[in-house]
């Protein structure tokens, strides 16, 4: 149900922001939809940090429900925004062109699978670092630090809060910088840095010291967040307007189900199988980043080829 909800709204948020953007600013404007990830993490950590101060019996009986009930307010905000948003100029132009050509529209999902399955697969792979990286640095690191390193849960939650604030502030800056150096070049660079980031992260986290834990996770999260901020606008430009919404939503949610769902499980299995050793988990994270790097480079090559064919 969450996947259906996010798939239906995330793609629209990215496209509404990106397609309303001034020329050449798509990636920067689309990146604001990606701020939902660190913002949600900050809100959840604040909410559960507050209710966990309750006595144990009150927390288990009713306290844990409060953050979920309070989130209903965000539904009202989202609904108000959704009802007030107009279609983007690009989509209106695409629809008018289809009407003039008397083109019979088919279900977008079937058109994507029939005509754009190659870029769809590459976009699924390209999203891997942005999605799996979040589950690794947030979800998995909580279980790893508390179960394997036996650190206090409150300590790691406080550290993740500071990391989330850093990520929230960094993402718009990364999107702005990508427009200066080129999106493909920027994504490739931060993916390379992400491949190297887990090694110092695990060394610093293993120290058990709060500031060093924040620094270690922040190093990996900075690379992941920079990639995550730009990839949404980047992949949206790989599809035609009439199927763009469906295509990027499919790519994001399929990647979320596979990479996002499996990453904490694989990380936990590695931690237990290689107890006392962090290098297998670091290699796993490097593999995650390398998948995104290869797919971004393949997308850039395919996009360049398609542009050359159109000009010819």
Using alpha carbons only, give the angle 233, 237, 242 rounded to the nearest 5 degrees: 115
Torsion of CA 85, 87, 88, 94, to 10 degrees: 170
Q: Which residues of 288-312 are buried (b: 16+ CB within 10 A; e: fewer)?
A: bbbbbbbbbbbbbeebeeeeeeeee
* Phi/psi at 189 (5° precision): -65, -50
CA distance 131 to 201: 18
Q: Domain 2-311 adopts which CATH fold?
A: Growth Hormone; Chain: A; (1.20.1250)
Q: Identify whether the C-beta of residue 197 lies closer than 8 Å to the C-beta of residue 220.
A: yes
pLDDT, residue 214, reads 93
pLDDT, residue 91, reads 63
Six token digits for residue 277: 């050793």
pLDDT, residue 309, reads 47
3-state helix, strand, coil split of the chain in percent (to 5) is: 85, 0, 15
Half-sphere exposure (CA, 13 Å, Cβ side) for 231? 33
pLDDT, residue 127, reads 94
pLDDT along the chain (312 residues), means of 10: 72 79 82 87 85 87 90 82 70 61 68 88 95 91 90 88 93 93 94 97 94 94 94 87 85 89 93 93 97 95 66 48
Cβ atoms within 10 Å, residue 283: 14
Domain ranges of the chain: 2-311
């Amino acid at each position: 149900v969450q996947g259906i909800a996010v798939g239906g709204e995330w793609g629209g948020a990215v496209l509404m922001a990106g397609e309303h953007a001034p020329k050449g600013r798509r990636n920067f404007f689309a990146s604001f939809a990606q701020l939902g990830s660190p913002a949600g993490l900050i809100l959840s950590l604040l909410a559960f940090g507050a209710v966990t101060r309750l006595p144990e019996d009150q927390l288990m009986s009713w306290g844990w429900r409060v953050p979920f009930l309070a989130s209903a307010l965000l539904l009202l905000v989202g609904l108000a925004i959704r009802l007030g948003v107009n279609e983007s100029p690009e989509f209106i132009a695409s629809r008018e062109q289809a009407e003039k050509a008397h083109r019979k529209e088919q279900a977008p999902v079937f058109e994507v699978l029939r005509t754009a399955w190659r870029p769809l697969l590459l976009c699924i792979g390209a999203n891997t670092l942005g999605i799996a990286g979040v589950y690794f640095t947030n979800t998995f690191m909580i279980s790893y630090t508390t179960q394997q390193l036996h650190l206090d849960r409150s300590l790691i939650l406080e550290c993740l809060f500071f990391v989330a604030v850093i990520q929230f502030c960094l993402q718009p800056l990364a999107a702005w910088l990508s427009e200066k150096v080129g999106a493909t070049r920027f994504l490739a660079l931060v993916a390379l840095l992400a491949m190297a980031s887990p090694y110092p992260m695990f060394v610093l986290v293993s120290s058990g010291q709060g500031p060093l834990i924040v620094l270690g996770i922040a190093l990996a999260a900075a690379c992941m967040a920079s990639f995550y901020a730009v990839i949404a606008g980047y992949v949206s430009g790989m599809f035609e307007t009439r199927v763009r919404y469906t295509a990027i939503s499919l790519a994001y949610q399929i990647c979320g189900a596979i990479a996002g769902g499996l990453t904490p499980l694989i990380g936990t299995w590695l931690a237990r199988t290689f107890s006392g050793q962090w290098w297998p988990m670091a290699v796993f994270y490097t593999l995650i980043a390398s998948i995104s790097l290869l797919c971004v480079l393949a997308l850039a090559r395919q996009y360049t080829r398609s542009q050359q064919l159109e000009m010819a």
